[in-house]
Amino acid sequence: MVVAIRADLAQDAIREPSDPIGHQSCEQCARSHCHFSFAILRAMSQVALTPNSRAFREWLAPSVPLFMDVYLFNWTNSERFPGEKPHLVQLGPYRFKEHRRHVNVTWHNQNGSLAYRTKRTWHFHHSSNGSLSDNITILNIIAASAVHNARHWSFIEQKTLSMALAMFGQHMAVSKLARELLFDGYDDAILDVAKSLPASTTGGAPLVDKFGLFYDRNNSINTDGYMEVTTGLRSGTLPGQVLRWNHEDHLPFYSGECSKLAGSAGEFMPRDLTEQSTLSVFVPDLCRVLRLTHQRSGLISGLPYHRYAFTPEGFDNSSSTHHNSCFCNGECMWGGVMNVSACRFGSPSFISLPHFLHGDPALRAAVTGMQPDEEKHSFFFSVEPKLGVPLEVGGRFQLNILIEPTPHIALYENVPKMLFPIMWVNQNVRTDESIISDLRYARAILDWGATVCACTALLLTVLVAMATCCWRKRKYSSPLDIGLLNEKPKDEAEIKLNPM
């Protein structure tokens, strides 16, 4: 979305050269390229969220096409587990077109911020590689979550849960239609039982009648929660920087440095980026701030970019990266994964890059079918550094569920301790070529506009000086000339009387 905001502002500056900017030097250069330079600089320096700004209108309801690709891992040998390693086959992408709108917008002028919620609507897209009627087998996440929450229960309580799982026909895997696994959800007897249990046994999870990976998210305004961000009106601030999330100014799931709430909401990026710059992006689904570092630089359709990626160290919660240990929420088991259980009501959810890219080799060794690829599975922002406009974004994450042996629950007596891949999501957006063309022009004006303006101003100064000099030379006359001009002509009689 920031692509459209920044590009449209640049286009406005080029289309509207008559916009006054209050600089006499540029008014003198109005017929030259320098005016474009100042106009673009003015537009780019005043990208702010105000009720009547173009940036706000585009932010409120983005016009950039957004798509979400979901890949599900089909478990093909579930009936032979745990005797065999799980063999997983990637299916998809199941593609959904997303319509996004920010709602319940409230302005807080006292601290230069605005608050809002985000409403997202998804529609299945015809370009998907698969049907929502595909039958897919995945790990039984409901049973896995129930067992995980019971790991510290007493012997009697665990045996009771073990009998309940058997009585309600719970198995290690479930086979459902793709639509049921994603947005529609499916019925499960355990969910009905959970409604009668105290919140302490369910991790405080909201009571639902169905389970699905994205169930109850379509058309909801609660998916991303309450957000409060800067408007960019205050000097030295950028728009879209997170101040509060769900009314908190920190992340309550973590401690120390990991609890700090900062960075962009993902819609506005800093300008004048360098290879030493770090991008901070807050991702509500992960309940944490991601810090992206420079990976490489290059050209996209002739426009320079810096790519900032989520590095192996960013995901590493192992003892080798001490500053990330506060994300572990207990034991740091594997590198290359994030424990998000605390913000998922105790569900044993762990996030990694797709196919365990940059993850501990033990994660891939526990299953078959993982094929990590840096180009396909990395998380990155490719940003035009001068303007701060993302040219390409790859938002990719994989959901994994922790399972481990639990001696007093029959279903989990002999399972290995591992992270079980469920799905991964890709939100890849690349700027349209027409916008890149405008950005190339805007970048050229920014790079050369000041030089052109200075040269034009100098030329005009010289021309004005020359013109003034010539005008003064024509107007100037010597005293002798003045006398001759003022002298009256003598008649013939006077000439004869006064020959001299």
pLDDT of residue 199: 62
Dihedral sign for Cα 405, 186, 181, 135, please.
positive
pLDDT of residue 229: 96
pLDDT of residue 343: 84
Asked if omega into 82 is within 30° of 0 (cis), the reply is: yes
pLDDT of residue 15: 42
Collapsed DSSP state (helix, strand, coil) of residue 242: strand
Q: Are 289 and 280 in contact (CB under 8 A)?
A: yes
- Residue 338 corresponds to which tokens in the numbers above? 């994030």
Q: Are 313 and 290 in contact (CB under 8 A)?
A: no
pLDDT of residue 180: 98
DSSP 241: B
pLDDT of residue 266: 83
Distance (Å) of CA 378 to CA 299, 351, 389, 426: 19, 13, 19, 10
Q: Are 6 and 44 in contact (CB under 8 A)?
A: yes
Q: Which amino acid is at 298?
A: G
Euclidean distance between CA atoms 305 and 275, whole angstroms: 10
Phi, psi of 330 (to 5 degrees): 125, -135
Kindly report the pTM of this predicted structure.
Answer: 0.81
Please list the pLDDT of the chain residue by residue as tens digits (500 residues).
Answer: 444 444 444 444 334 443 433 444 444 444 444 554 444 444 444 468 899 887 888 889 987 788 999 999 999 999 999 999 999 999 999 999 999 999 999 999 999 999 999 999 999 999 999 999 999 999 999 999 999 989 889 999 999 999 999 999 999 999 999 999 999 999 998 888 877 766 666 566 677 789 999 999 999 999 899 999 999 888 888 899 999 999 999 999 888 888 899 999 888 888 889 999 999 999 998 888 988 999 999 998 888 899 999 877 776 666 566 677 788 776 678 888 888 888 887 889 999 999 999 999 999 999 999 999 999 999 999 998 887 888 888 999 999 999 999 999 999 999 999 999 999 999 988 877 777 777 777 767 766 555 555 555 566 666 666 666 655 555 555 544 544 445 555 555 454 445 54
Collapsed DSSP state (helix, strand, coil) of residue 406: coil
pLDDT of residue 55: 81
Euclidean distance between CA atoms 425 and 433, whole angstroms: 25
- Residue 50 corresponds to which tokens in the numbers above? 């105000």
pLDDT of residue 457: 58
Matching residue, tokens 């920010």: 102
Give the Cβ contact number of residue 131 at 10 Å.
12
Collapsed DSSP state (helix, strand, coil) of residue 465: helix
